[in-house]
Chain A
């Protein structure tokens, strides 16, 4: 663990002080004046959870258990928000049309789906379906291997989402692709063949990455835990820009949509997909910053994504 002590020094201390005010004050949403601290705590945990899923640079394969627990946390918070949203018709949540209802209603879009990629190779569980009558040789269950690859990989490129981390985002993207390459040798031959497509592209995207200045990353650091160290910076930004007043359902929806834009399934990608992600992500990041900076940000170049998603985003922007 890079965090040796509960109260660290410097920037970390600031975060902890801010956060320690939340610790232990777990109040129910019904309490009047402490509802704010409850909401703040909830939002903090929500952000932490998002960061964990999409910023984490695991040196080893990400733990499925951790991913599941974090996803459950996000879903629970979103459920709460959904219930609160339904109690307050003033929320613009109801305004956007079906596309917006999608993140609210559809469980597949709610929590940044770390493992909800549309599996390109169908999960051939039919043949391996559990039968009461006989033992199933475990070898039959290996058909799920494409899932493993799709399971672990989307979390890597989805890392592009991190709010307020503009310069290192490129690094995380290239390292995300590096990670996919690392994952390739452990996958079966079929996955390796599929992975060769994006792999080829990532090598072209890779060299460009190190040239990016590591602005928000405070000085050259070893890779792994330092994205988390930049977390205090992120929270400072959110706290200083009137976080609570900006806290609308849209922000959370927006974050969801942003992260889902980076859902990237190497198993289905045509060769050009990986390289297409680069220009998209810079603009997307600006949009991600929008809720935190209270400035309306219009996309400066057309996004290469679904028209319905674009419509929804425009509506949300216009709505706020």
Chain B
């Protein structure tokens, strides 16, 4: 269980918020195929398309890549990544190859050093161009564009365990793609009613099973999760399993439905459990038990009495992500005021930490935070009314095998790792 973490804070130089919905998304950690080399985390983001790429072996190395047509790459110190990554732009999925370049050829015959063509009449000797080392440069090239298959905003992308297909989910449909075929996808889930007036539920997130390439889950705005098997039928409108927790009558309110809307669903690495995030809680479900979750963790229950205000200012619609650690023993999710929470499933302990510039000097140890829910406020506690609801941590990622986490807060990316004794 991570209790004290040295902090590494990376900030982009852009002013617009990086990690805003619907485009912004952090992670997943991507690894070079088959390589045990240190991993990187990447994020697509808000306006325009930017991908933040950082290499974690030496955590100060970061590249910010702009995914505009004329790619403008920047680098901070040295960095590299050799991988593919994807970003969604509203209703289009793009596959990018991110690669590094640390050598360049010099000594062309027909071009001079600036690339201008030389007058052939002036060439009197020939030479063989040589590769010379250069400052490491990261560049991204679009490799595939998967367009025109979605009418609504894409909320999820999930790569299949076969690494040949992936799915993209929007509010009403889920489509299955092959990486090599960009002009056609197959619809595997469609919940659009014939009469849009009857629409009361939308798809909120979807993910493939980490090992079984025919199985996936998708969550809905009514707090339900459906597990589907693509072998059962071509259109998976009929689920194989249906997960829903019965409503707690003592907690009923006008906002029951809205706070039950699931914002994120994630399989555990083992594939035995799924974790869902709704507005106030994180729930762990066993795939073999559909009628209720096996664990429920309160993220910020003190907001339950503030739901009307949060409805009015739209915060109740914020979509928080959740994430497993590599061994599926700890789960993490974000909250407001730049807080994020970790829950140890074994010891049942939890911690609240803050990702902020003031608290995060490199190598500084994070101090656990506490929200005071009433009565006397102790020193260092924060009262619920002082929480800053514009500072929300929606996106987090956890390294698949190390205790390194990435936390996205508006315009800042924080990378934390476990204290090395």
Where the two chains meet, the residues of A that have a C-beta atom closer than 8 Å to any C-beta of B are 1-7, 16, 19-20, 22-24, 26, 41-42, 44-45, 48, 52, 60-61, 63-66, 68-69, 71-73, 76-77, 107-108, 113, 115-116, 119, 123, 125, 130-139, 141-142, 144-145, 147-148, 151, 228, 231
B219 to chain A, nearest CB (A): 11
User: A65-B202, A116-B196, A130-B235 given as contacts; is B186 within 8 A of A3 (CB)?
Assistant: no
Which residue of A20, A66, A72, A116 is within 8 Å of B317 (Cβ)? A66
B136 on the A face (CB < 8 A): no
A sample of 18 cross-chain residue pairs with beta-carbon separation below 8 angstroms, ordered by A number, consists of A1-B389, A6-B309, A22-B308, A45-B308, A63-B153, A65-B202, A65-B261, A65-B317, A68-B199, A73-B257, A73-B258, A77-B254, A132-B235, A136-B234, A138-B173, A138-B175, A141-B190, A144-B151
* Distance A26 CA – B153 CA, assembled complex (angstroms): 34
Question: Is the beta-carbon distance between B254 and A132 smaller than 8 angstroms?
Answer: no
* Distance A5 CA – B313 CA, assembled complex (angstroms): 10
A27 to chain B, nearest CB (A): 10
Closest to A117 in B: B196
| Contact partners of B421 in chain A: CB under 8 A | none
The 4 closest A-B pairs by CB, nearest first: A116-B197, A24-B305, A138-B149, A3-B313
| Number of A-B residue pairs at CB separation under 8 A | 164
| Contact partners of B171 in chain A: CB under 8 A | 64-65
Question: Is the beta-carbon distance between B201 and A68 smaller than 8 angstroms?
Answer: yes
Question: Is the beta-carbon distance between A26 and B390 smaller than 8 angstroms?
Answer: no
Question: Is the beta-carbon distance between A69 and B261 smaller than 8 angstroms?
Answer: yes
Closest to B201 in A: A68
B359 to chain A, nearest CB (A): 19
Among residues 255 to 287 in chain B, which have CB atoms less than 8 Å away from a CB atom of chain A? 257-258, 261
**Most central of B171, B176, B305, B309 by chain A CB within 10 Å:** B309
A79 to chain B, nearest CB (A): 12
Closest to B20 in A: A60
| Contact partners of A139 in chain B: CB under 8 A | 148-149, 184-185
Question: Is the beta-carbon distance between A41 and B235 smaller than 8 angstroms?
Answer: no
Which residue of B197, B304, B314, B385 is within 8 Å of A113 (Cβ)? B197
B338 on the A face (CB < 8 A): no
User: A26-B252, A63-B317, A136-B234 given as contacts; is B186 within 8 A of A115 (CB)?
Assistant: no
Which residue of B197, B221, B233, B309 is within 8 Å of A23 (Cβ)? B309
Question: Is the beta-carbon distance between B308 and A135 smaller than 8 angstroms?
Answer: no
Question: Is the beta-carbon distance between A3 and B389 smaller than 8 angstroms?
Answer: yes
B312 on the A face (CB < 8 A): yes
**Most central of A4, A66, A130 by chain B CB within 10 Å:** A130
User: A48-B312, A65-B171, A135-B234 given as contacts; is B151 within 8 A of A142 (CB)?
Assistant: yes
**Most central of A60, A73, A145, A228 by chain B CB within 10 Å:** A60
Among residues 232 to 260 in chain B, which have CB atoms less than 8 Å away from a CB atom of chain A? 233-235, 237, 252-254, 257-258
